[in-house]
Structure 1
Amino acid sequence: MEKIAGHTRLYRRGATYYHRAAIPQDIKATYPKSEETFSLGTKDYQEALRRVREEAVRVDRRFDEHRLELSKSAQPVLEELSEAQINLIGDIYYANLLEEDEALREEEFDSKSFEEHADDIVDLGGINRYAYARGEDTEGFFRDEAEEVLSWTNVDLKLAPESPSWRKLIRKLQAVTIKANEGKAARNRGDVVETPIVPTQQVSKPSAAPMLSAAISDWIREKSLASWGEKTADDHRIWADRFMLIAGDRPLDDYAKADGRAFKEALLKLPPNWTKHPQLKDLPITEAATRACELRLQPMSITNYNKVVGFVSAFWNWAANNFDEVEKNPLQGLKLRKEAAAFEERDSFTADQLSRIFQAPLYTGCKNAKAWRTKGTHIPNNLGLYWVPLLSLFTGARSGELIQLYVSDIKTENGVTFVDINKLEDDKRLKTKGSRRRIPVHQALIDLGFMKFVDHCRSEKRTRLFPEMVKGKDGYYSSPFSRQFRRVLESVGAKTSKNTFYSFRHSFEDACRDSGVPRDVMYALQGHEDPGMGDRYGSGYAVSVLNEHLQRVSYPGVDLSNLRALE
């Protein structure tokens, strides 16, 4: 079996690719196989590379599950629980009940669901009190709850099936449920009932979870190897470290919602660029937040707040997938509703602004490729600076998606030519799963000579359509181009505080709606994830259907008459 470059577990036998992994030393003696080797079911290298990454994750998860089973099987069975253990388990269960209730409220009730929630609390409160008074466990509900709580990572105990402690534990869980229902009912009346910090001491043994600092380092290292550029890694590391400064460096299973709330409260006091503010820059983050509040500084925008919460939340989601000890993300539910930040959204381009852009010397004639702002006779229609704005106007694609295109990504199927937005090559990035899609080439682009440009690229044996466009220091193609396009807008007087290249996507959305394109088709063209379509490529639409709708898109009032078709 031949080792193949591209992934440590990628091999080939004949023409078929395989996943092959040795069993880790710590479980080698008990694992049922000598190695995890199996066919990837393909002879295509790019498809094999995609599949081996997915299978490697599944196999690693299998290894972790085996470790967990070994750990559980080696755990001693207790004949009884101490009173202290039962009380601590009750505290943990009580805190969990109120934490779940708080999470529901953070998502916001509508009037109907709130009334239903309030009625449920009253009904369940009566049932629980009735059962508790009579020493009953209705339908064995609390026995099941007790078994589940004992399996939680901050409890992690095995109790003998016939132990007399079961009865005591069930009574304790019933009692704290009644108490928690009283707290929920008080919240429904508008009273403030704090969610207690979940007791983080483990009932049976010290935590085996890694320290937060070590886990953050592992996370950054893993993500940097997989896909993150330097800037992305730095952004995530900085904010994860700041979370640690607020919450402390502790074992991963020692964090709770209270830590997330403390981080949220600090962020909502900090101004943008607080590390550059003369009165804040030398202060620790918690002191900076307090001082900013005293100075009555304008806090960071809701968009930036949500972005920061997303950075740190990404770590906790990764931790939950990688460590048995992490059950919940302490930042879950703490983002603020985006509707509150609607004023911050970027504008679409107006018809006048679009006309100004495409009447610039770049499109009507400039001095040369470098002096594209100076009028002349040269039209640089062999460059990305020329084509990327036009492509976005008629596809709605993001700049990075277009700049990274390979010549081979321009394809034809059943007579329809389309742009294949994909991540088959390692130098490409996609924002979401839904970003992988096929966008037909609009007739306006064909009339302007886009397919002649593609044919020229093929004749030159180019790999990428726009090889002159390079990545920035942060690893993104879009970063240097964004600055360059800003200069285009400024040069024609079309720049405002609320438009950027991204405004092409908003303009495309407007044009789709004005042209009668159905919303789900527009979503498919733009790469918005449709919750009803799962991971299906192109949201399930045939490229011929997409083409039928896309060709309707037009921009009344936008003057493209000065553009000369590529000869």
Structure 2
Amino acid sequence: MPTYLKKRDGVYYFRRPVPDDVRSHLGKSDFGFSFRTKDYVKACKLCRIEAVRTDRLIDEAREQIARGATGSPKSAVAAPIDREAYAAAAFVALQRKRDAAFSAGDLPTFDAEARENLELYQAMLEGGDNLGLSLAQVEGMQRATKALLTGDGAAVLASAAAVSRERKQVAAKPDTPMLPELIDIWAAERSPEARSVDMWRRTCAMFYAVNGEKPVGAITKADVLAFRAHLIAKGNAPATVDSRLNHLRSLFRIAVEQDIIPLDPAATVKAPSMKGEAPPRRYYDADELKAVFGSAIYTKGERPNRGAGEAAYWLPLLALYTGARLNEMGQLRPKDILQEVYLDADDKEQRAWVIRITEDKQDGLTVKNPSSNRRVPIHQALIDLGFLRFVDAARDKGQARIFPDLKPDRYGVMTGNWSKWYGLHLRQVCGVLDKKITFHSFRHNFKRHWRECDLNKAANDAITGHESGSVADKYGGDYPLRPMVEGMARYRVPGFTLPPPPASLR
């Protein structure tokens, strides 16, 4: 077990005493926190990362003491992180640890751990959990570790020195704001969701990590081109590169509109061609559906804590048989499940159970766009599994939501945390490793199987909340219920066998 890794009640913790000579400067006697995992392998990787990070904190504290520096260490931590300097410092710390491993005759173990960490950093950069580290820290650690393993440390140290000299030479224009200030203006004008604001700030942090922290007036087209080249080199898809550039363009447009700068430096910078780019998601094939609905959730009645109780069972099935978006299902209330009357082809009155998907900001319900307000006929397969009885039970208990165990994420998205759990469940438990398969892929399945049944496209668009783009389709009010009910009655998933209903509904 790594030196600073401790285990308590099955959970792993990081515990490292702070050396006496920097204890008062750092204001703590030890570094201690939970890794929030019972996975030993994962905890070991995290422990090695934290060992290097705390090495840096201790070294920096000693340097500040030697210089007679004053001030709260918290304010230093809060300052923007220079990626090149961070990589150089991390490299020095790793060199020290490698020398210690060599002296102890344990160099092969150190090198093996370094290679594992390199894979972990790459996974973080590809969209995984950053485990509390900033983008600059992850990229810096990745660069330092790679340099150590390849013997290219001189380049890392030289790059940090060169960037430092360049940034000192930048003539900052005091009359122009920094990019984060423009984000504040943009947010005040647009009132975007908190998640969007965070995304814009992340783009700015990435831009500054590449080009240094410059006021808007000092940013040039060359800086934007360097940022684009960095994104492409990191393997980002053309659509992602275009999205990041659009974030910058929106800020530069504000600066132009307010006469802060004369021209937008990103105006003529284009993203790579998206021609021939593979679709970001695909539908579940028969084997993948079998893997998901053959898991212990459906065969043994297991309900993982992070799966939010019965949500783990019902949400994938609802998505497969309605084509609805994840959050549309997660925020449903008992009163959103009801019967509606319609006339059949013989003008006889019929009733159908439907799910009402609607925006209700007062009750915390949101939809993607106006066309997302709709009703969705409930497929007989869901009724056979006991979905209506499940809703009745929620109604009898006075529940505000059908899935009360779902806890909103920090942005208030009802299924934000659940989505992260499902991603891990899909890969680690179900063994579906293709990254083009996500929960949203069920929506692709619904579209595909609807087409396979040769059903009405307009009815499918009405059920899934897709706009056709035709102005004529907006005439006549809500789409009629009858063709949607008739289409849903014929909808089937080829080769798919329904799992058994939950034990409480059998």
Which TM-score tier does this pair reach, normalised by the shorter chain? 0.5 to 0.7
Question: What is the aligned partner in structure 1 of residue 183 from structure 2?
Answer: 216
Residues 1:399 and 2:326 are matched in the alignment: yes
> What is the CA distance between 1:449 and its match in structure 2?
0.9
- Paired residues of 2:216 and 2:261 also in contact (CA < 8 A): no
Letter of the 1:305 partner, please give it.
Answer: V
- Supply the distance in 2 between the matched residues of 1:332 and 1:425 (Cα, whole angstroms): 39
**What is the 5 A alignment of 1:396-475?**
396-414=323-341, 415-426=351-362, 427-475=364-412
Letter of the 2:435 partner, please give it.
Answer: S
From 437, 450, 464, the equivalent of 1:499 is 437
- Paired residues of 1:407 and 1:454 also in contact (CA < 8 A): yes
Residues 1:239 and 2:203 are matched in the alignment: yes
Query: Structure 2 vs 1, CA of residues 496 and 524 (structure 1 numbering), >3 Å: closer, same or farther?
Result: same
The runs of 5 or more residues in structure 1 that have no matched partner are: 1-208, 273-296, 374-379
Question: How big is each residue's C-alpha offset from its partner over 1:533-552, in whole Å with a ceiling of 9 and x where there is no partner?
Answer: 48959984122322222222
- Paired residues of 1:435 and 1:527 also in contact (CA < 8 A): yes
- Paired residues of 1:302 and 1:336 also in contact (CA < 8 A): yes
- Paired residues of 2:298 and 2:499 also in contact (CA < 8 A): no
Query: Structure 2 vs 1, CA of residues 354 and 237 (structure 1 numbering), >3 Å: closer, same or farther?
Result: same
From 485, 510, 527, the equivalent of 2:448 is 510
Question: How big is each residue's C-alpha offset from its partner over 1:360-399, in whole Å with a ceiling of 9 and x where there is no partner?
Answer: 2212223x534799xxxxxx9x721111111000111121
Query: Structure 2 vs 1, CA of residues 496 and 212 (structure 1 numbering), >3 Å: closer, same or farther?
Result: closer
The runs of 5 or more residues in structure 2 that have no matched partner are: 1-175, 342-350
Query: Structure 2 vs 1, CA of residues 399 and 317 (structure 1 numbering), >3 Å: closer, same or farther?
Result: farther
**What is the 5 A alignment of 1:217-296?**
217-221=184-188, 226=191, 228-229=193-194, 231-240=195-204, 249=215, 265-271=225-231
> What is the CA distance between 1:425 and its match in structure 2?
2.5
- Supply the distance in 2 between the matched residues of 1:518 and 1:540 (Cα, whole angstroms): 16
Query: Structure 2 vs 1, CA of residues 549 and 335 (structure 1 numbering), >3 Å: closer, same or farther?
Result: farther
- Supply the distance in 1 between the matched residues of 2:193 and 2:433 (Cα, whole angstroms): 31
Residues 1:354 and 2:354 are matched in the alignment: no
> What is the CA distance between 1:312 and its match in structure 2?
3.8
Question: What is the aligned partner in structure 2 of residue 552 from structure 1?
Answer: 490
- Supply the distance in 1 between the matched residues of 2:402 and 2:475 (Cα, whole angstroms): 23
Query: Structure 2 vs 1, CA of residues 487 and 453 (structure 1 numbering), >3 Å: closer, same or farther?
Result: same
**What is the 5 A alignment of 1:47-196?**
none
3-state DSSP of counterpart to 1:554: coil
3-state DSSP of counterpart to 2:339: strand
Query: Structure 2 vs 1, CA of residues 262 and 536 (structure 1 numbering), >3 Å: closer, same or farther?
Result: farther
Question: How big is each residue's C-alpha offset from its partner over 1:295-321, in whole Å with a ceiling of 9 and x where there is no partner?
Answer: xx454221321331343455578889x
Letter of the 1:238 partner, please give it.
Answer: R
- Supply the distance in 1 between the matched residues of 2:239 and 2:203 (Cα, whole angstroms): 15
Query: Structure 2 vs 1, CA of residues 556 and 465 (structure 1 numbering), >3 Å: closer, same or farther?
Result: same
> What is the CA distance between 1:263 and its match in structure 2?
6.6
Query: Structure 2 vs 1, CA of residues 517 and 371 (structure 1 numbering), >3 Å: closer, same or farther?
Result: same
Letter of the 1:228 partner, please give it.
Answer: E
Residues 1:369 and 2:303 are matched in the alignment: yes
- Supply the distance in 1 between the matched residues of 2:290 and 2:305 (Cα, whole angstroms): 21
- Supply the distance in 2 between the matched residues of 1:539 and 1:338 (Cα, whole angstroms): 37
Question: What is the aligned partner in structure 2 of residue 340 from structure 1?
Answer: 276
- Paired residues of 2:179 and 2:204 also in contact (CA < 8 A): no
Size of the aligned set, in residue pairs, is 317
Query: Structure 2 vs 1, CA of residues 331 and 456 (structure 1 numbering), >3 Å: closer, same or farther?
Result: farther
Letter of the 1:445 partner, please give it.
Answer: L
> What is the CA distance between 1:219 and its match in structure 2?
2.3
- Supply the distance in 1 between the matched residues of 2:435 and 2:184 (Cα, whole angstroms): 38
Question: How big is each residue's C-alpha offset from its partner over 1:116-155, in whole Å with a ceiling of 9 and x where there is no partner?
Answer: xxxxxxxxxxxxxxxxxxxxxxxxxxxxxxxxxxxxxxxx
Question: What is the aligned partner in structure 2 of residue 302 from structure 1?
Answer: 238
3-state DSSP of counterpart to 2:202: helix
- Paired residues of 2:406 and 2:415 also in contact (CA < 8 A): no
Question: What is the aligned partner in structure 2 of residue 384 from structure 1?
Answer: 311
> What is the CA distance between 1:487 and its match in structure 2?
3.7
3-state DSSP of counterpart to 1:520: helix
> What is the CA distance between 1:324 and its match in structure 2?
11
Query: Structure 2 vs 1, CA of residues 549 and 354 (structure 1 numbering), >3 Å: closer, same or farther?
Result: same
Letter of the 1:216 partner, please give it.
Answer: I
- Paired residues of 1:302 and 1:338 also in contact (CA < 8 A): yes
Letter of the 1:348 partner, please give it.
Answer: Y
Letter of the 2:186 partner, please give it.
Answer: W
3-state DSSP of counterpart to 1:340: coil
> What is the CA distance between 1:483 and its match in structure 2?
2.4
- Supply the distance in 2 between the matched residues of 1:370 and 1:354 (Cα, whole angstroms): 19
Query: Structure 2 vs 1, CA of residues 354 and 327 (structure 1 numbering), >3 Å: closer, same or farther?
Result: farther
Give the aligned CA root-mean-square deviation in angstroms. Answer: 4.1
Letter of the 1:430 partner, please give it.
Answer: V
- Paired residues of 1:246 and 1:263 also in contact (CA < 8 A): no
Instruction: Choose 1 or 2 for highest CA Rg.
Output: 1
- Supply the distance in 1 between the matched residues of 2:238 and 2:222 (Cα, whole angstroms): 17
- Supply the distance in 1 between the matched residues of 2:196 and 2:284 (Cα, whole angstroms): 29
Letter of the 2:441 partner, please give it.
Answer: S
Question: What is the aligned partner in structure 1 of residue 90 from structure 2?
Answer: none
- Paired residues of 1:345 and 1:498 also in contact (CA < 8 A): yes
How many percent of aligned residue pairs carry the same amino acid? 28
- Supply the distance in 1 between the matched residues of 2:298 and 2:409 (Cα, whole angstroms): 25
Query: Structure 2 vs 1, CA of residues 317 and 360 (structure 1 numbering), >3 Å: closer, same or farther?
Result: farther
Query: Structure 2 vs 1, CA of residues 303 and 211 (structure 1 numbering), >3 Å: closer, same or farther?
Result: closer
Question: What is the aligned partner in structure 2 of residue 95 from structure 1?
Answer: none
The alignment's TM-score, normalised by the length of structure 2, stands at 0.53
> What is the CA distance between 1:458 and its match in structure 2?
1.0
Letter of the 1:413 partner, please give it.
Answer: E
Query: Structure 2 vs 1, CA of residues 467 and 416 (structure 1 numbering), >3 Å: closer, same or farther?
Result: same
- Paired residues of 2:449 and 2:494 also in contact (CA < 8 A): no
- Paired residues of 1:355 and 1:560 also in contact (CA < 8 A): no
Query: Structure 2 vs 1, CA of residues 510 and 528 (structure 1 numbering), >3 Å: closer, same or farther?
Result: same
Question: How big is each residue's C-alpha offset from its partner over 1:313-341, in whole Å with a ceiling of 9 and x where there is no partner?
Answer: 55578889x97999998659945554432
> What is the CA distance between 1:556 and its match in structure 2?
1.5
**What is the 5 A alignment of 1:21-40?**
none
Residues 1:522 and 2:460 are matched in the alignment: yes
- Supply the distance in 1 between the matched residues of 2:178 and 2:430 (Cα, whole angstroms): 54
Letter of the 1:484 partner, please give it.
Answer: W
Letter of the 2:442 partner, please give it.
Answer: F
- Supply the distance in 2 between the matched residues of 1:326 and 1:396 (Cα, whole angstroms): 46
The alignment's TM-score, normalised by the length of structure 1, stands at 0.48
- Supply the distance in 2 between the matched residues of 1:504 and 1:410 (Cα, whole angstroms): 21
- Supply the distance in 1 between the matched residues of 2:202 and 2:474 (Cα, whole angstroms): 35
- Supply the distance in 2 between the matched residues of 1:372 and 1:531 (Cα, whole angstroms): 39
- Supply the distance in 1 between the matched residues of 2:477 and 2:270 (Cα, whole angstroms): 30
Letter of the 1:220 partner, please give it.
Answer: A
- Paired residues of 1:436 and 1:537 also in contact (CA < 8 A): no
